[in-house]
Chains A and B, each alone.
Chain A
Amino acid sequence: GENVEQHPSTLSVQEGDSAVIKCTYSDSASNYFPWYKQELGKRPQLIIDIRSNVGEKKDQRIAVTLNKTAKHFSLHITETQPEDSAVYFCAAPSAGTGRRALTFGSGTRLQVQP
């Protein structure tokens, strides 16, 4: 099945700085890579995703890049704000489930210091 590794596990930045979270995956046949944000005690919510037909996707202050050759993808948050503080998870489709369920990374706790 898919194996997803995520780094770092914690990240602390000053407000206004950029944050980068990186993930690697094992199944070269995967084509869909979402990122979820989970605030304390709440449900994970999709913030951005990318498919393998593009190398980068942006949505205001967040962007995701994908390198299929190296099997890694990254989340970039620019001009960070205190409300960006949360746990972020990357994911990739699980081959063992016909690529219908997602396998998640272990999460990155982002703390934005005001």
Chain B
Amino acid sequence: DGGITQSPKYLFRKEGQNVTLSCEQNLNHDAMYWYRQDPGQGLRLIYYSQIVNDFQKGDIAEGYSVSREKKESFPLTVTSAQKNPTAFYLCASSFGREETEAFFGQGTRLTVV
């Protein structure tokens, strides 16, 4: 379905390797977000971007990097500095106004092997 597309759905990475998760949206949203989901811990904010070429660290940004070169795209790189990268990663977007609904992608499950 349209809206927000994350790829791939499943990703396996060897220890010490960087990996990039893709997130694309066609909702014309200004703001985009990356969340990490671990069992029993809800969703935690990694990075967010309110506008092209600008992004801010969230609560757990260490070991991650992002870019926002296009309005539609907000890729997340999980670097080798992330000590415990195995998790479910969710991308979201919104109109960027205060206190509005976030729309989520279907997620990428990353496993370090």
Contact = CB atoms under 8 A, between A and B. Distances in A.
Interface in A71-114: 89, 93-94, 97-107
B43 A89 contact: yes
B2 to A, nearest CB: 13
Interface string B36-64: 00001111110010100000101100000
B33 interface: yes
Nearest to B104: A43
A15 interface: no
A3 B19 CA distance: 30
A56 interface: no
**Of A98, A100, A104, A107, which is in contact with the most chain B CB atoms at under 10 Å from its CB?**
A100
B58 A44 contact: no
Interface residues of A, number: 29
A44 B43 contact: yes
B88 to A, nearest CB: 9
Contact of A97 (B41, B45, B107): B45
B48 A100 contact: yes
B66 interface: no
B90 interface: yes
A44 B35 CA distance: 11
Interface string A1-33: 100001001000000000000000000001110
Contact of B99 (A6, A31, A45, A107): A31
Contacts of B41: 106
Nearest to B98: A99
A49 B102 CA distance: 11
B93 to A, nearest CB: 11
Given A1-B59, A45-B104, A107 B42 contact: yes
Interface of A: 1, 6, 9, 30-32, 34, 41-46, 49, 51, 89, 93-94, 97-107
Given A89-B42, A98-B50, A101-B58, 5 more contacts: A43-B90, A46-B102, A100-B31, A100-B94, A100-B97
